[in-house]
């Protein structure tokens, strides 16, 4: 919650950060913040209470909000990858293609689709046979629909886009290398650029896949295995997935120098000592 809150305050306060790309990061931070503020308290209550009178109602509410916010977080990640694709692969068309209007549409789509997905899956599951286990997707059709819209489709899109970005980046680096003086220093610089691009993309996709893949694979095979997978295993993988909302500020924020500067100004209280809205962060 602290990391996402720092991202939100930074982007809202500093005028220099009012860019289309940062609006997507802001939307992502809001979704991730709400996961920590709303979803995790519900989940904690359900985890520690075994005989709660309203456990069934809390489970349904938690499931709806959880689907809504987690799907929004994933879709925001997906739209960020699209934004990065145009920035890296089509830089000359970036400003005409990725405008504030387009970004607003992306944000509205991510939140609207997420809300419809969460409400739809929850409503469809109301008439299903009840179980003492508070687990998402206890029906096969719901599991297929929910996991496809929440993870598999966005994950496939993100993987494809970032792979394309990586290929284009390496191609651009080799093009620069072929037109510059071939010396040891140049070769070392080019090699460092390639490693940095590869490392950054590996972190972006790696964190997302490491956090969410175990849960969605488990939940996909859960109905097919006649519900034999231990609920404790599913719960553990779910908490791992939620941790993606905690790590996103590190992946999309701490890699930017402007975020490091803004965090120092916020934590030190400098922004309360005057008007720093137009302060140059980079």
For the chain, which residues make up each domain, given as ranges?
2-272
Place of tokens 């720093």: 276
Q: From the CA atom positions of the chain, what is the Rg in Å?
A: 21
Q: Over the stretch 206-254, which tens digit does the pLDDT of each residue have? A: 888 899 999 888 888 877 777 788 878 888 898 899 999 888 888 877 7
Considering the entire predicted model, what is its pTM? 0.84
C-alpha dihedral (215, 217, 219, 220), degrees to nearest 10:
160
CB 107 within 8 A of CB 52: no
CB 154 within 8 A of CB 113: no
Provide the CATH number for the domain formed by 2-272 in this structure.
Answer: 1.20.1070.10
Residues 6+ apart with CB under 8 A from 31: 69, 72, 73, 76, 111, 245
| Closest of 154, 172, 82, 143 to residue 114, by C-alpha | 154
Place of tokens 């509205």: 108
Place of tokens 């909302």: 245
Work out the mean pLDDT of the chain and round it to a whole number.
80
Q: Over the stretch 253-269, which tens digit does the pLDDT of each residue have? A: 777 778 888 888 999 88
Q: Over the stretch 110-125, which tens digit does the pLDDT of each residue have? A: 999 989 888 877 776 6
DSSP track, 176-208: HHHHS---HHHHHHHHHHHHHHHHHHHHHHHHH
Q: Over the stretch 27-74, which tens digit does the pLDDT of each residue have? A: 999 999 999 998 888 778 777 765 555 556 677 777 788 888 988 988
Separation of alpha carbons 34 and 40, rounded Å: 9
């Amino acid at each position: 919650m602290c990391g996402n809150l720092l991202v939100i305050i930074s982007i809202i306060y500093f005028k220099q950060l009012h860019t289309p790309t940062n609006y997507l990061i802001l939307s992502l931070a809001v979704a991730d913040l709400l996961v920590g503020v709303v979803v995790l308290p519900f989940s904690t209550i359900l985890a520690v209470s075994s005989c709660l009178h309203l456990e069934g109602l809390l489970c349904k509410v938690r499931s709806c909000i959880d689907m809504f916010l987690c799907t929004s977080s994933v879709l925001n990640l997906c739209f960020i990858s699209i934004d990065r694709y145009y920035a890296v692969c089509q830089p000359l068309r970036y400003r005409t293609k990725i405008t504030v209007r387009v970004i607003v549409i992306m944000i509205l789509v991510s939140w609207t689709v997420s809300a419809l997905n969460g409400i739809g899956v929850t409503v469809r599951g109301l008439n299903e046979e009840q179980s003492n286990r508070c687990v998402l997707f206890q029906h096969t059709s719901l599991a297929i629909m929910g996991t496809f819209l929440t993870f598999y489709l966005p994950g496939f899109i993100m993987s494809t886009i970032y792979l394309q970005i990586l290929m284009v980046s390496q191609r651009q680096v080799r093009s620069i290398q072929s037109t510059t003086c071939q010396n040891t220093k140049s070769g070392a610089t080019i090699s460092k650029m390639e490693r940095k691009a590869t490392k950054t993309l590996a972190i972006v996709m790696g964190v997302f896949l490491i956090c969410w893949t175990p849960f969605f694979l488990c939940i996909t095979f859960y109905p097919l295995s006649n519900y034999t997978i231990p609920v404790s295993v599913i719960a553990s993988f779910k908490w791992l997935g939620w941790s993606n909302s905690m790590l996103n500020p590190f992946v999309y924020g701490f890699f930017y120098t402007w975020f490091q500067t803004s965090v120092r100004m916020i934590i030190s209280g400098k922004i309360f000592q005057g008007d720093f809205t137009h302060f140059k962060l980079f």
